[in-house]
């Protein structure tokens, strides 16, 4: 079967970086048409730089990387240096990238790519705030019907929030963008905290990365050591949730995940619950289903896939 065409929209972020590596290590499964950077974990100048650092680490400097929106649609940017460090990829020392940034704006790349491909053949993989995706949908409504699927990391319901008690970071940063995307009508599969919090970087799993004995394995282990310190303290867990690679793993091995097609609405007005993903898991409302909300993961299978694919780089 031909590899699935995808655009990765991202705010690297150590976990974004692992997701990008997993995708680039899987050319038989995934054809990465482009990587579009968005402001999120750190400001845009850093996320677009980090995306290029990761593509070069993967040995694929020919990957097209685009710079996108530098702020949410109608709010001030909230970043997460407290989790990811000042650079967004804190942990190991990283050399500046030498590969070029594409001249075209990420939003225009998303629009042109969807227009240039047959309907239903391009999947969008947002790993950060949904600003680029929503801006593309607003600028070119005709592309919504051409999207094969949106597979995103974001939201949470039974698990609560990680940036406020009610909201997960990607949705919280740009709730208006999230509402545009969840209301648009394109097929959505979401990886909320309810599933990513089961994908914990335990010592054995980090050791498996380090034992690859490759620059990629060493880098992933060093990133994990750095960004898990925050989550381990916060949750008292034996590792940090590896959020974003769940999106890519789903595209390669969907059987690792279980969820339910339900209605998910985005809170955009309440101060208390801004950015909350209100998931009608028990279908108590008559609101139409608009997303597959993943709630279970085979964590051992997920980390086995990760180690197997990262070993190829």
**Site for ligand RIB, rule CB under 6 A:** 11, 13, 15-16, 40-41, 127-128, 153, 162, 168-170, 243-244
Distance CA 153, CA 124 (A): 11
In the complex, the smallest distance separating the C-beta of residue 36 from Ca ion, rounded to whole angstroms, is: 13
Q: What part of residues 103-132 is at the interface with Ca ion (CB under 5 A)? A: 127-128
DSSP 8-class letter at 241: B
DSSP 8-class letter at 100: P
In the complex, the smallest distance separating the C-beta of residue 67 from ligand RIB, rounded to whole angstroms, is: 17
One character per residue 29-58, x = contact with Ca ion (rule: CB under 5 A): ------------------------------
Between 11 and 90, CB nearer to ligand RIB: 11
**185 in Cβ contact with 144 (< 8 Å):** yes
Binds 162, which of Ca ion, ligand RIB, none (CB < 5 to 8 A, cut-off by type)? Answer: ligand RIB
Q: Which residue is listed with tokens 């940017």?
A: 77
Between 146 and 209, CB nearer to ligand RIB: 209
Distance CA 49, CA 97 (A): 7
Residue-level length of the chain? 313
- Residue 192 near Ca ion by CB under 5 A: no
In the complex, the smallest distance separating the C-beta of residue 22 from Ca ion, rounded to whole angstroms, is: 13
Across the strands, what pairs with 265? 278
Q: Which residue is listed with tokens 């867990």?
A: 237
**155 in Cβ contact with 193 (< 8 Å):** yes
Between 154 and 259, CB nearer to Ca ion: 154
Token reading at 86: 């000042």
Mark whether 243 is an active-site residue.
yes
Distance CA 274, CA 265 (A): 11
In the complex, the smallest distance separating the C-beta of residue 35 from Ca ion, rounded to whole angstroms, is: 12
Query: Which active-site residues does the annotation give?
Result: 243
Contacts with Ca ion by CB under 5 A lie at 11, 13, 16, 127-128, 244
């Amino acid at each position: 079967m031909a590899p699935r065409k995808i655009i990765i929209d991202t705010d690297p972020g150590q976990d974004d970086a692992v997701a990008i590596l997993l995708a680039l290590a899987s050319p038989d499964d995934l054809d990465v048409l482009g990587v579009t950077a968005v402001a999120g974990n750190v400001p845009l100048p850093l996320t677009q730089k980090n995306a290029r650092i990761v593509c070069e680490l993967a040995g694929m400097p020919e990957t097209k990387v685009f710079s996108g929106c530098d702020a949410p649609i109608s709010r001030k940017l909230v970043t997460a240096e407290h989790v990811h460090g000042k650079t967004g990829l804190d942990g190991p020392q990283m050399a500046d990238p030498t590969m070029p940034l594409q001249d075209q704006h990420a939003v225009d790349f998303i629009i042109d790519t969807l227009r240039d491909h047959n309907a239903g053949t391009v999947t969008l993989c947002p790993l950060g705030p949904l600003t680029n995706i929503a801006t593309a949908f607003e600028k070119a409504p005709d592309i919504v019907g051409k999207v094969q699927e949106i597979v995103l990391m974001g939201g949470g319901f039974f698990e609560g929030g990680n940036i406020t008690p009610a909201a997960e970071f990607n949705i919280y940063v740009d709730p208006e963008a999230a509402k545009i995307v969840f209301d648009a009508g394109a097929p959505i599969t979401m990886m909320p905290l309810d599933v990513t919090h089961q994908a914990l970087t335990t010592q054995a799993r980090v050791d498996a990365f380090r034992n690859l004995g490759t620059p990629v394995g060493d880098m992933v282990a060093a990133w994990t050591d750095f960004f898990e310190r925050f989550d381990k303290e916060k949750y008292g867990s034996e590792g940090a949730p590896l959020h974003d690679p769940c999106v890519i793993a789903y595209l390669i091995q969907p059987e690792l995940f279980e969820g339910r097609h339900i209605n998910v609405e985005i809170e955009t007005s309440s101060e208390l619950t801004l950015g909350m993903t209100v998931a009608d898991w028990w279908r108590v409302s008559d609101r139409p289903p608009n997303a597959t909300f993943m709630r279970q993961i085979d964590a051992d299978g997920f980390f086995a896939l990760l180690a197997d694919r990262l070993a190829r780089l």
